[in-house]
Structure 1
Amino acid sequence: MPGDSTRTRGRILEAATAEFARHGIAGARIDRIAAASGSNKALIYKYFGNKDQLFDAVFDGIVVQTMNDVPIDGHDLPGYAARLWEWYRSRPDMLRLGHWDDLERAGIGMTAPIARQAGADKTAAIEQAQADGTVGDWLPAETLLQMILQICRTGLTTETPEAHRAAVANAVRRLTSPHAPSTD
C-alpha cells in the first residue's frame, strides 16, 4: 500500500533525524534507526540507499521545514533573525544536524539543490530589500545572509533567552542598517 510506505519512510526519517543529531553521521547506526522506526535495515537501504544518502534526505527535510516554519522577510531581517534563532533554540537537534554536516562532510548538505535554492531565495529577498533601500548595500546580499545565519546559530549565554533573542535582532539590525556603518 502506498500509504504504508509513506508512513514507514516518515518513521525512518524521524528516527534517523534523532540518531544523526545524537551521534553524528559516523556514529549513527542503521540498526538503531531500524529499531527506533519499527522497520528493518533492508527497508532503509531500499528507500534511502546508504547512510550518507539517508543523512541527505534528513538534511533536505530540515531545509524545507526551516523554510516553511521561518520564511525570510527581507524587509525585516532583524525579526527574521530573531524568529530563526528562536526556532533553532526550540529545535536543538536541527542545529546539531547542521553542525554534523559541517564537521563530518565539510557542509556538503548545503550544496544540495534544495539548499542552494533556499539560499538563492533568501539572497534574492535581501537583494530586493537592498534595492528598496531598507537594507544597507555595503555588503553583498549573500555575505550578509551568511553573517545573519551565523548570528542565528549562536548558543545561549548567561543571558535569558529573551535577552539573547533581542541581542540577535539588534546585531542584525545594526548589520543591515541602510546607513553606512561607522568605521570606528
Structure 2
Amino acid sequence: MAVRDPEDSRRRILAAATAEFANYGIAGARMDRVAERAASSKERIYAYFGNKDRLFDIVFTASAQQTLESVRFDAADLPGYAGRMFDYFAEHPHAQRLTMWYRLERPHGPGLAVVHAANHDRLAALAAAQAEGRLSPDFTPAELLTLIQSMAASWNSLNPEFAASAEMGGQPDRRTAVVRAVARLV
C-alpha cells in the first residue's frame, strides 16, 4: 500500500495548476485537467486549495514572488532592471502568461498582497530617486514603471505575424534595444 505524502500531492497540484492557468487563464482552466496532470483528484484540489479562484491566487502569488526574487528592482539601474525582466520572461514564459492572465481577468478588486507590496516598494524607490535628483521627474513614478515594464515584457508577447515580418534580430538584439530604450527614457 502506497503512503500518501500530502506535501508531494500539493506540489504536483501547484505545478499542474501553474501550467493550466498559464495556458488557459482562470476562466479557461479546468480542474479535471489539473487533477489528471497532477495524478490527483478534483476533490483533493478543492480540499487543499479551496475553489479555482483561490488556487489561481496561490499560483500567481508564488509566480510573482519568484519573479520578484529573480528580477531585482533597482531604481539606480533601471536599464539593468529592464534587461533582467526581459531575460526572466524569455526564460520563464509561463510567468509572463500568468501575469497577463492576472491583468486580464482581475482588473478590479482588492488585489493580492504580493502585488500591492511590490508596487508600493518600487513606486516609493522611484519617487525617492526623483526627490534626490538621481532620476528625471519627466514622468511620474507610476508612468515610469509602466513604461519600463511594458518595454521589457513587450518582445515576448508580440503577435506572431509582426514577429515574423519585422526585422527585429534575435534575443540579444531585442534585449539590447530594451536596455537602450530605458536608458534614454530615464
2:5 corresponding residue in structure 1: 4
Equivalents in 2 of 1:160, 1:119: separation in Å?
A: 31
For this pair of structures, how many residues does the alignment match? 173
Distance 1:159 1:43, change over 3 A: same
Distance 1:107 1:163, change over 3 A: farther
After superposition, residues 1-184 of structure 1 pair within 5 angstroms as 4-106=5-107, 111-156=111-156, 157=163, 158-176=168-186
SS in 2 for 1:106: coil
Distance 1:119 1:52 in 2: 22
Q: Runs of 5+ in structure 2 lacking a partner?
A: 157-162
Residues 107-143 of structure 1: CA deviation (Å, up to 9, x unaligned): 669x211111011111122223223322212212122
**1:7-62 superposed Cα distances (whole Å, 9 cap, x missing partner):** 32222111101011112222211111112112211111112111111111111111
Which whole-Å deviations, capped at 9, do the CAs of 1:54-74 have from their partners, x for residues lacking one?
111111111100111111011
1:92 shift after superposition: 1.0
CA distance 1:119–1:164, change in 2 (3 Å) = same
Q: Distance in 2 between matches of 1:125 and 1:8?
A: 40
What corresponds to 1:179 in structure 2? none
Structure 1 gaps, min length 5: 177-184
After the TM superposition, which parts of structure 1 deviate over 6 Å for at least 4 consecutive aligned residues?
none
| 1:96 CA displacement | 1.1
Show CA shifts across 1:50-109 (max 9, x none): 111111111111110011111101100000001101100111111111222223332669
What is the root-mean-square deviation of aligned Cα atoms in Å? 1.9
Mean Cα displacement is larger for which, 154-163 or 90-99? 154-163
SS at 1:153 equivalent:
helix
